[in-house]
Structure 1
Amino acid sequence: MSHPLYIAFIWHQHQPLYKSPGSALSPSQQYRLPWVRLHGTKDYLDLVLLLERYPKLHQTVNLVPSLILQLEDYIAGTAFDPYLTACLTPDEQLSQEQREFIIQHFFDANHHTLIDPHPRYSQLYQQRQEKGQAWCLANWELPDYGDLLAWHNLAWIDPLFWDDPEIATWLKQGRNFSLSDRQRIYSKQREILSRIIPQHRKMQEAGQLEVTTTPYTHPILPLLADTNSGRVAVPNMTLPKQRFQWEEDIPRHLRKAWNFYKDRFGQIPRGLWPSEQSVSPAILPHIINQGFKWICSDEAVLGWTLKHFFYRDGAGNVQQPELLYRPYRLQTAEGDLSIVFRDHRLSDLIGFTYSAMPAKKAAADLVGHLQAIAKMQRESQSEQPWLVTIALDGENCWEFYPEDGKPFLEALYQSLSDEPHLKLVTVSEFLEEFPATATIPGGQLHSGSWVDGSFTTWIGDRAKNRAWDYLTEAREMLASHPEATEENNPEAWEALYAAEGSDWFWWFGAGHSSNQDAIFDQLFREHLFGIYKALNEPVPPYLKQPVEIHEAQGSHTPQGFIHPVIDGKGDEQDWDKAGRIEIGGARGTMHNSSVIQRLWYGVDHLNFYLRLDFKGGVAPGGDFPTELNLLWFYPEKTMVNSPVPLADVPDAAPLNYLFHHLLEVNLLTQSIQFREAGDNYQWHPRFSRAQVALNSCLELAVPWADLQVPPDYPLRLILVLADEGRFCNYLPENALIPIEVP
């Protein structure tokens, strides 16, 4: 029997608890950040409304209980955050502190997609970027503040709702927004938020949608069971001083999520999205005992479990796909549990790369990958149908897409509706028709997450471990009060659940940063503070100090995918997740260390990106060399290589290595020549689609197709400066630039 290729999209909708427990006794809840309200008007409702237009397509959406709780506060009008408070304040009553806050934070959005399309919002943004915050504070008048307050909210309303008469009027109005206008915009936000849960419930009851849940406040369950589980993937991990072992909290989070879901959706949940797709053998009995039928995780976890690395061909398609594209049955003493594993690359293409491509081309690329998998399924003559799981964050990626991803999703959904060999299903639909036949003993399941199959994002460095030690102390304090039950002291338990959430640990220490790290730090400590306060215990003095000092970082490795516009302007948002190497003045060893100040580098699935920042006022030819050479070194790979084709190159590592690809950039003409090493130490010209631009900085994009390297491959890069073919200098000073092909 010939089966179509089944595809399960799972969209994960989540926000941490922004509500400060310090204001829990107030009728209105004080929220530290506005993201539930803003993502609520931009990302949660439109995703399923758009899907509803394509009734043949079935999908799964995961809604985290802590997100729903906060949506309900905003709908009830009891949630207020500093951004909202400023918006509802008469212009003339804005304090100096509020004005500073507005100028600093009301452009917190991707300016390419959310600010630039709106002329008035873009005008205010450019004033702040070009003239600075101090100038705005000194020169802006009340209408400037009023318009910024309005546009900060309007830009986050999804384009799907722009045909609403009131919204259309505001977008056309553009400027001179009154307090009354802003009050109506806030009412419109609440109106959109109020439709989110009913729409999901309606579509689930109609059979087009499956709604799943997550442990109550999104904790990393394996780490609640035992922080030592971090050493399964990283045996030499530095662990917190105190071992956190509170496995009994796992059924509490699961039970609260289960009951919460039943109350909102009128039925019991079948699927569970483990927070950050984090799993371990220890958590399985609790999930089974609560009644969940299936969970999802990442291909890296499956790879570790099977001791199999999922290699991909040059097109990015998985080799041995039959191992990944099937559900498995986890066998435990408590019973069995189905598990599906997502295709990491296809999920990341939507999450991080397709936003940089034209919508129809991106949709065609994804459908092309699925058609290739369907062909492999047919050729395998497998009697069991395949299930491709594409699971990812359903909110943050759309900020980088034009029109919040609407053109991309429309093109994708239309193509999938028209393709007879591809069938979109919910996970439960597939499992009911085709129960898992492949089995994995529960004890064999790897302990890890979607991030590299490990827990290093949440534990293992100094700041993260310190936060775990603080949490351990608070948890033990609660345990020393057996009289404090959830029934008679819910405040203490709610504070504990909030502090056990994963998000605080995500932002602590290395790996991730934002301009709101200090607020996440404060919220974590406030939740711990709430435990002691509810127990009438003295608060430890260390909770009054930040877990870590939040300073601007110097040199660091990439923190995520980037998609910069190559125009030589070095847009700060484009490069905020790039790796950075401080060059100028680091040791004073470079001949021109004061000219090149900083090197940025990063990747997406299409390109490698490089940026060089120069000292102000310098120009190629006079102040520094005219030629930049990028030379790629391929470690542990046998291939034809050649030495640097320049005169006067010192015979010293790494300059005396042999390289395979060379991209020469003429900084005067901004022209490029691409060459590949050949026999007898020759360099042969090759075609390149690399982009280069030199303005206030140098920006460069080199397609992976030029380098012809497979996915999941390590490269090394050195930059060599030259004048008329003669060596001048190289950078970075201390090591080759490490590049990981996605």
Structure 2
Amino acid sequence: MDSDSRTPVVLFWHMHQPGYQDCQTGQFQFPWVYLHTIKDYSDMAAHLEAHPNARAVVNFAPILLEQIETYLVHIERWRHGAGEIGDPLLAALVAETLPEPGSPGFLDLMEKCLRANQDRIINRFPAYARLAELAGLYRKKPAIQRYMSPMLLTDLLVWYHLGWMGETIRRENHCVQSLQEKGGQFSWDDRCALMEVIFEILAGIGPRYRHLAQIGQVELSVSPYTHSMLPLLIELASAREAMPEIVLPAFERYPGGDLRVAWQLEQAKRVFRRFFSVEPTGCWASEGGLSQATLAYLDAHGFSWTASGDSVIRNSIHHARTADSSVPDAGIHRPYRFGDTSATVFFRDDGLSDLIGFTYADWHASDAVGDLVHHMENIAAQGNPESRSVISVILDGENAWEYYPENGFHFLDELYEVLENHPALRLTTYRDLVADPVSKTVTLPHLVAGSWIYGTFSTWIGDPDKNRAWELLCEAKCHYDRLMDNGSLNAEQKEAAQLQLAICEGSDWFWWFGDYNPAQIVSDFEHLYRKHLVNLYDLIGYPAPASVFQQLSQGSGAPERGGTMRPGHDRNDNA
């Protein structure tokens, strides 16, 4: 057992984006992979590099890594005149000619350049704010659109990418600083110089995190290949364990789901090894989605740990105590094992994690870190010296910082500064806690299936729109199975179809369906989901049914943080 008597704290940052690339055309439908890379994935590495005594777990979805790689290939080909950049927004940044003012293409790019946080990104830069104000004027008065200057779009494109730039890049990169000082009237050379900066950031992500892992500062872990919801692929009815009355899709189960789970995990490991040259020891099952059957698959694929939200362990403790009242309630700050599975399961402190995600963005950084660490110190003080608490803060590594001043720079810098040499708390990783336990592992007979959001799967299934999306996927999978087995496809066609199916299995599509989400984002994701299904049908040589072309969902809500993040507990739940 570790001789360090301080209470272990694990900061777990999860990085993922779904498959935005249209596999038929090679075009990226949305720019979020490269934008979050230059803003968030680069900043998160830089903060760790600036605090060499800090430690963290960083999780990557493999499909995100592959898409970053694809952007690099596209930019490299463009640089050598051998191809185009397959992202309309990024390509426009360096286009020698742009759409005419007032044309649909002009207006489309203009609108895309305004998809940023108004307060934290656009209004932070007076030049960007003025451009946004002009764009708003032109939007309201179509009659004057013909009088737009082409320079409006040129400058908007540059400022959009400057606005999305990571704060650590902004503070250190001379090109970024000079463009910000110039403010406008950007030339094509200016835009090409900015593209070079973007390329360098994208190219550095893999090597930087690989180096942090090699020196032991970061443990890298992995998610299923396309961030699929494993428990639902195995058994749709697992949703009933936490929500007995939930209405499920018409299909009883996802056809061949057990084989797909095995494929998703094995493919994830292959991609991870290729990028990082090591074997992952931990798996963040997408959205912390676990079930007893999922734990068995993680065991079979050699993962020694996983994690989920604290409502999952509370549900599992309640289930065990209902059958046997003598089972102790060990709480959320302990490692667990379930049944005869061997993977150690850690649980997110939803209270602490959600303070970062939903509360501290409007606080002064020192006050926010002081409050967070004070809560951690209280947890540590209540622990048993012979079986210490394990405090898990688990959060998306990308979505929260858009709401913080300067992309969370001051908060993250202060957080690592305070925790890297704290007298009562020590930053560590799950791999080290499994290899050298400081807390006795609690064993329970059964894990009640659920995710880190509310301890249920309600974010992905049960709503009529979500259920219809599952039915479309199940129907496509039935045709896929039949045509993959009848000998009509060659090996190359089968591989392409299998990859396309995996993209359709991603959890993000189901996340966004439902009236409570914003209309624009629902429209974006449901359109892309149906496009992926159509591509799957094309690849297997079967005509897509009419149902795939019908609109699935139409959002009208305004959830907190735009719906990109959810709290671990239902805000109406006092538990």
What TM-score does the superposition give when structure 1 sets the normalisation length? 0.70
Residues 353/489 of structure 1: CA separation in 2 closer, same or farther (3 Å cut): same
Q: For 1:477, what is the secondary structure of its paired residue? A: helix
Aligned counterpart for 2:121 among listed residues 104, 114, 117: 114
Contact preservation (8 Å) 1:244, 1:468: no
Which residue does the alignment assign to 1:228?
A: 237
Which residue does the alignment assign to 1:151?
A: 159
1:524 aligns with 2:526: no
1:201 aligns with 2:210: yes
Cα distance, 1:2 vs. partner?
Answer: 7.8
2:189 & 2:89 partners in 1: Cα distance?
Answer: 16
Which residue does the alignment assign to 1:340?
A: 346
Cα distance, 1:322 vs. partner?
Answer: 5.1
CA RMSD of aligned residues (A): 2.5
Which residue does the alignment assign to 1:7?
A: 9
2:110 & 2:117 partners in 1: Cα distance?
Answer: 16
1:560 aligns with 2:571: no
Amino acid corresponding to residue 148 of structure 1 in structure 2: L
1:299 & 1:355 partners in 2: Cα distance?
Answer: 23
Bigger fraction of residues in strand: 1
1:192 & 1:308 partners in 2: Cα distance?
Answer: 48
Cα distance, 1:69 vs. partner?
Answer: 0.7
2:509 & 2:563 partners in 1: Cα distance?
Answer: 19
* Mapping 1:35-54, distance limit 5 Å: 35-54=32-51
What does the per-residue CA deviation read over 1:126-156, in whole Å, with 9 as the maximum and x for residues that have no partner? Answer: 3344664435734431121111011011111
Amino acid corresponding to residue 45 of structure 1 in structure 2: S
Q: For 1:341, what is the secondary structure of its paired residue? A: strand
Deviates more, 1:250-259 or 1:432-441: 432-441
Aligned counterpart for 1:450 among listed residues 449, 452, 459: 452
What does the per-residue CA deviation read over 1:275-312, in whole Å, with 9 as the maximum and x for residues that have no partner? Answer: 01000112122111111110000100000000189xxx
1:358 & 1:740 partners in 2: Cα distance?
Answer: 28
Q: For 2:307, what is the secondary structure of its paired residue? A: strand
2:17 & 2:29 partners in 1: Cα distance?
Answer: 13
Contact preservation (8 Å) 1:331, 1:337: no
* Mapping 1:80-159, distance limit 5 Å: 80-90=86-96, 93-94=99-100, 96-129=103-136, 132-134=139-141, 137-159=145-167
Cα distance, 1:534 vs. partner?
Answer: 1.5
1:435 & 1:285 partners in 2: Cα distance?
Answer: 25
Which residue does the alignment assign to 2:293?
A: 282
Larger Rg: 1
Which residue does the alignment assign to 2:82?
A: none
Aligned counterpart for 1:172 among listed residues 181, 191, 196: 181
Cα distance, 1:266 vs. partner?
Answer: 1.1
2:163 & 2:519 partners in 1: Cα distance?
Answer: 21
Deviates more, 1:207-216 or 1:114-123: 114-123
1:480 aligns with 2:482: yes
Residues 446/254 of structure 1: CA separation in 2 closer, same or farther (3 Å cut): same
Identity among equivalent positions (%) equals 32
Amino acid corresponding to residue 227 of structure 1 in structure 2: L
Aligned counterpart for 1:255 among listed residues 260, 266, 271: 266
Contact preservation (8 Å) 1:61, 1:211: yes
What TM-score does the superposition give when structure 2 sets the normalisation length? 0.90
Q: For 2:315, what is the secondary structure of its paired residue? A: helix
Amino acid corresponding to residue 510 of structure 2 in structure 1: F
Amino acid corresponding to residue 50 of structure 2 in structure 1: R
Cα distance, 1:513 vs. partner?
Answer: 2.7
Which residue does the alignment assign to 1:535?
A: 540
Q: For 2:382, what is the secondary structure of its paired residue? A: helix
Aligned counterpart for 2:440 among listed residues 437, 440, 443: 437
What does the per-residue CA deviation read over 1:616-654, in whole Å, with 9 as the maximum and x for residues that have no partner? Answer: xxxxxxxxxxxxxxxxxxxxxxxxxxxxxxxxxxxxxxx
What does the per-residue CA deviation read over 1:98-143, in whole Å, with 9 as the maximum and x for residues that have no partner? Answer: 2111232211111111111211101122334466443573443112
Cα distance, 1:176 vs. partner?
Answer: 0.5
Contact preservation (8 Å) 2:55, 2:217: yes
2:27 & 2:456 partners in 1: Cα distance?
Answer: 35
Amino acid corresponding to residue 253 of structure 2 in structure 1: F
Which residue does the alignment assign to 1:468?
A: 470
What does the per-residue CA deviation read over 1:290-346, in whole Å, with 9 as the maximum and x for residues that have no partner? Answer: 11110000100000000189xxxxxxxxxx9952111112342xx511110010011
Which residue does the alignment assign to 1:63?
A: 60
Contact preservation (8 Å) 1:293, 1:338: yes
1:37 & 1:45 partners in 2: Cα distance?
Answer: 11
* Mapping 1:670-681, distance limit 5 Å: none
Residues 104/2 of structure 1: CA separation in 2 closer, same or farther (3 Å cut): closer
Aligned counterpart for 2:382 among listed residues 376, 380, 388: 376
Q: For 2:253, what is the secondary structure of its paired residue? A: coil
Amino acid corresponding to residue 330 of structure 1 in structure 2: F
Cα distance, 1:519 vs. partner?
Answer: 2.3
Deviates more, 1:516-525 or 1:353-362: 516-525
Contact preservation (8 Å) 1:331, 1:440: yes
Which residue does the alignment assign to 2:324?
A: none
1:139 & 1:264 partners in 2: Cα distance?
Answer: 49
Q: For 2:560, what is the secondary structure of its paired residue? A: coil
Contact preservation (8 Å) 2:314, 2:331: no
Bigger fraction of residues in helix: 2
Q: For 1:21, what is the secondary structure of its paired residue? A: coil
1:278 & 1:385 partners in 2: Cα distance?
Answer: 26
Contact preservation (8 Å) 2:497, 2:540: yes
Flag the structure with more relative contact order, 1 or 2, with Cα contacts below 8 A and sequence separation at least 6. 2
* Mapping 1:294-373, distance limit 5 Å: 294-307=305-318, 323-332=331-340, 335-373=341-379
Contact preservation (8 Å) 1:362, 1:408: yes
What does the per-residue CA deviation read over 1:393-428, in whole Å, with 9 as the maximum and x for residues that have no partner? Answer: 110100011111111111111111342111000111
Contact preservation (8 Å) 2:62, 2:271: yes
Residues 436/536 of structure 1: CA separation in 2 closer, same or farther (3 Å cut): farther
1:275 & 1:298 partners in 2: Cα distance?
Answer: 12
1:200 & 1:511 partners in 2: Cα distance?
Answer: 36
Contact preservation (8 Å) 2:100, 2:106: yes
* Mapping 1:622-641, distance limit 5 Å: none
Amino acid corresponding to residue 200 of structure 1 in structure 2: Y
1:92 & 1:50 partners in 2: Cα distance?
Answer: 37
Contact preservation (8 Å) 2:493, 2:540: no
Amino acid corresponding to residue 34 of structure 2 in structure 1: R
Q: For 1:36, what is the secondary structure of its paired residue? A: helix
Contact preservation (8 Å) 1:104, 1:133: no
Deviates more, 1:241-250 or 1:464-473: 241-250
1:397 aligns with 2:403: no
Structure 2: which 5+ residue stretches go unaligned? 76-84, 321-327
1:31 aligns with 2:28: yes
2:94 & 2:290 partners in 1: Cα distance?
Answer: 44
Amino acid corresponding to residue 351 of structure 1 in structure 2: G
* Mapping 1:724-739, distance limit 5 Å: none
1:17 aligns with 2:19: yes
Aligned length: 548
Residues 577/478 of structure 1: CA separation in 2 closer, same or farther (3 Å cut): closer
Contact preservation (8 Å) 1:6, 1:425: yes
What does the per-residue CA deviation read over 1:543-581, in whole Å, with 9 as the maximum and x for residues that have no partner? Answer: 222223x36x2xx6x7236xxxxxxxxxxxxxx679xxx
Aligned counterpart for 1:544 among listed residues 527, 543, 549: 549
Structure 1: which 5+ residue stretches go unaligned? 24-28, 310-319, 562-575, 579-603, 606-710, 715-738
What does the per-residue CA deviation read over 1:31-80, in whole Å, with 9 as the maximum and x for residues that have no partner? Answer: 00000011110000221221122222111000110100100011112652
Amino acid corresponding to residue 506 of structure 2 in structure 1: G
Q: For 1:296, what is the secondary structure of its paired residue? A: strand
Which residue does the alignment assign to 2:302?
A: 291
Contact preservation (8 Å) 2:512, 2:521: no
Q: For 1:489, what is the secondary structure of its paired residue? A: helix
1:512 aligns with 2:497: no
